[in-house]
Structure 1
Amino acid sequence: MTRKLLKGGRVIDPSSQRDGVFDVLIDGGTIAAIGDDLSATAGTAEIIDCRGKLVLPGLIDTHAHVYEGVTGRFGLNADMCGVHSGVTTLVDQGGPSCITLPGFRQYVAQPSHTRVLAFLSAYLVGGLEGHYYPELYRPECLDVDATVKSARSNLDLVRGLKAHAEIGGFARWGVDVMRIATRIGREAQLPVYIHFGQLWPKPEDGALAVNPDSIFNQVVEMLKPGDILAHPFSRHPGGFVELDGKLHPLVPEAIARGLKIDVGHGSHFSFQTARIVLDAGVMPDTLGADMHGYNTSVPPPPGTPDFHPDEEDHMFKGKSRFGLVSAMTSMLALGLPLEHVVAMVTRNAAQMIGMEGELGVLKVGGVADVSVLEDARGRWVMRDNEGTEVVTDRWLSPSFCLRAGQRFDAQSPILPLAQAA
């Protein structure tokens, strides 16, 4: 592997509080030097012109669905969402379970060029077809001991647990499933990532009466510091914003108790909801793209279901093109500072997975995971899943990334095309 000199880009690394124009010298899979002008010490290194570009620690997508094949249409190809989209690390959210984790390791994590980690599903069946069959997720379909054992025996791969708190589940089983899932998190001593918003339709018959505004506080009471609340910008009821259009009053208390907030972008994202949450002073910690086979333009595998609630709710009917970097652009369009957006997908994401100082940082002697982004100025239109349009004057797009020093150009077929305003 040749030496590479990333020349003259704007290096932003929140972990080291570095923000300026620097050179980055890569030697094999390691960062050899970071400095103002390293040309004299680069020797025969390949020089890569990064002027006008952002040079960032390798991006970490905290919400991926990449158990390709096993989860049916739901799981996408890891490298398509990862290195070929400018992202060096993916965290699969709830695809593998204690039963299917060995297959996830052998057929996804090990062969992928992208670093792939997982938040293990609290449910025995994992993320089959994106939880298309809700009866597989009832309380009897969780096993505390088996899931804790699996997680603790695979800590190189498993960085947390995934569970769901939404109207469809609460209408069927009340708090039982969530109580078991949070017990798994405590016994495994790992963070639990909680999905809020719509997942399953509410059952028509025999359902418990559920007030969506009561879900958030019931779930928060079960959680421990470091657990993660997902989809703060979802337009669906049962999460951060109440039916009256105001921030749930317990959100500030949840933050004060040490809970973290992840923007699982995907089919849940609403500019209007985001405005409510941000204007109330709530700033999310991390950002995941939440791409899967029912909200992207990827052709479905033959024989998988034609319909999925997530696709039905998605105004583009599965025809979207997006990724983590375009999700970053949407955060900028909402007015979040670039420095915070970069922290969401680098330092903060590394903290979430317990790998701070190892990932999400550019440091001499550290792994050469680097993401290089184009940073264009102009006027472009962004649309959310409600059809709301927002005009942004800044558009980020991936150029290439280095994963342990190996270069991968951003050529994923699901990368979005900027639409001029």
Structure 2
Amino acid sequence: MSVSASFDLLLRGGRVIDPASGIDGLKDVGIRNGRIAAVQSDILPTSAKDVVDVTGQLVLPGLIDTHAHVYQYVTGRFGMNADMVGVQSGVTSLIDQGGPSCMTLPGFRHFVAEQAQSRVYAFLSAYLVGGLEGHYYPDLYRPDCVDIDATVKSAVANRDLVRGIKAHAEIGGFARWGIRVIEMAAEIGRRAELPVYVHFGQLWGLPASGTNGEDVDTILERVIPLLRPGDVLAHPFTRHPGGFVNTKGEVHPVIQAALDRGLKVDVGHGSHFSYRLARKAIDAGIVPHTLGADIHGYNTHVPAPAGTPDEPADDENHPFAGQAKFSLVQAMSSLIALGLTLEQVVPMVTSNPAAMLGLSDQIGALRPGMAADVSVLREQQGRFVLRDNEKTEVIAEKLLQPVFCLRAGVRHDATAPILPAAVAA
């Protein structure tokens, strides 16, 4: 080790994939003062104070999860610990989708964003209650529970934290209140000059009076005209009615036109995700722009600490009840198992979400001078079983697993208790 070492840390010998910089190859990454200092071949090990051999591993810009639920405690059983979903799972940045509202954003800033080791951003809920109890109480999400002026004011005053607006377009809401809530959310997005992220797929269930004449297959075609380029259609591969595949089993004809005029698609994996429907949409040429894990307390079992009763976080009677363990990296494996390439999936969790946040100059790349947010993954070859909530199984011949990440140059090993183990076929 040189006394006058050029770098504090050197990640040596890995396959660096940085879509934003056009890099894909064996490179070394030098880090100094918590920032990327160099990405090049054959950096001398003696030029660094500390060298980590990452030969045979993937070295990526810090992963960005576009669909997190980390307003822990305030959103009841729904909210997860930010760092468990984030840096402890190999993910350096999180976007909480609709947890905080204009009323509860100060608490989110103080107790979550400022306390977490992970970067945490928010897409502010269009609803005054935010994500209370994971939308377990649909009556809280009616039009008179939206304050357009207050939400715009909160979003504009908190630009560093609020990077978008979250709303819901699903059959239970439409049957109760029609399209009014979505119109209000779209107005908030326009006035705040922020993207609107729209949940599609059944969420609250139907009111006792039935569907009130609503047709789930018409929701997309009514909502899309309200949206602007850069707004996001979420849960395209949902197993619930109202996603990209209609009740006839066909990819909705309005989707391609929406993409052509600049709307974006986020996977929002979670327990909504259907391998059967995803394969159908992907085969029709629908390739998502971003990939969010959508981990929350209803679909992910957090093991209890040693010596305490091991009670699952899942509520089996809740429509979201699902897998035991999950991660963003596992969601990447899902898409690869469905036929997308690693090279197609990496931008979905790096450069594309950075653009969605309007932060491409700060995150999502390994350019010299940027904060050293780096994710290192192991790529296992073999035959592995992946299973969705419909009990459909796919065989993955490649399984990605997080090893560690750097957040501003600080190492965090992938030790989250929610990380799934590989299941051999």
Same fold (TM over 0.5): yes
User: Which of 51, 59, 62 is 2:63 aligned to?
Assistant: 59
Q: Which amino acid aligns with 1:415?
A: L
Contact persistence 1:163–1:193 (CA under 8 A): yes
Change (3 A) 1:207 1:271: closer
Using the TM superposition, give the Cα deviation of residue 366 of structure 1 relative to its aligned residue in structure 2, in angstroms.
1.0
- 1:121-176 Cα offsets, whole Å, 9 max, x none, are 00000000001111110000000000000000000000000000001100100001
User: Which of 10, 17, 27 is 2:15 aligned to?
Assistant: 10
**Distance in 2 of aligned mates of 1:400 and 1:306:** 26
User: Which of 380, 387, 398 is 1:394 aligned to?
Assistant: 398
Change (3 A) 1:173 1:307: farther
User: Which of 100, 125, 132 is 1:121 aligned to?
Assistant: 125
**Residue number in structure 1 paired with 2:43:** 38
User: Which of 403, 407, 416 is 1:403 aligned to?
Assistant: 407
Secondary structure, in 3 states, of the residue corresponding to 1:386? coil
TM-score norm. by structure 1 comes to 0.96
Contact persistence 1:381–1:420 (CA under 8 A): yes
User: Which of 73, 76, 84 is 1:72 aligned to?
Assistant: 76
**Distance in 2 of aligned mates of 1:318 and 1:327:** 14
Contact persistence 2:216–2:242 (CA under 8 A): yes
**Residue number in structure 1 paired with 2:294:** 290
**Residue number in structure 1 paired with 2:169:** 165
**Distance in 1 of aligned mates of 2:357 and 2:151:** 18
Change (3 A) 1:82 1:6: same
Identity across matched positions, percent:
61
Contact persistence 2:354–2:364 (CA under 8 A): yes
**Residue number in structure 2 paired with 1:363:** 367
**Residue number in structure 1 paired with 2:209:** 205
Superposition RMSD in Å: 1.8
Using the TM superposition, give the Cα deviation of residue 256 of structure 1 relative to its aligned residue in structure 2, in angstroms.
1.1
Q: Which amino acid aligns with 1:175?
A: I
**Residue number in structure 2 paired with 1:412:** 416
Change (3 A) 1:181 1:172: same
Which stretches of structure 1, 4 residues or longer, exceed 4 Å deviation after superposition? Answer: 299-302, 304-309
Q: Which amino acid aligns with 1:27?
A: R
| Unaligned stretches of 5+ residues in structure 1 | none
Q: Which amino acid aligns with 1:312?
A: H
Alignment pair present for 1:322 and 2:326: yes
Change (3 A) 1:378 1:221: same
Using the TM superposition, give the Cα deviation of residue 32 of structure 1 relative to its aligned residue in structure 2, in angstroms.
1.1
User: Which of 8, 15, 24 is 1:19 aligned to?
Assistant: 24
Using the TM superposition, give the Cα deviation of residue 318 of structure 1 relative to its aligned residue in structure 2, in angstroms.
4.3
**Residue number in structure 1 paired with 2:318:** 312
Alignment pair present for 1:219 and 2:223: yes
**Distance in 1 of aligned mates of 2:350 and 2:90:** 13
Change (3 A) 1:44 1:243: closer
**Distance in 1 of aligned mates of 2:324 and 2:233:** 25
**Distance in 2 of aligned mates of 1:372 and 1:45:** 19
**Distance in 2 of aligned mates of 1:201 and 1:306:** 21
Contact persistence 2:59–2:376 (CA under 8 A): yes
Secondary structure, in 3 states, of the residue corresponding to 2:291? strand
Aligned length: 415
**Residue number in structure 2 paired with 1:332:** 336
Secondary structure, in 3 states, of the residue corresponding to 1:344? helix
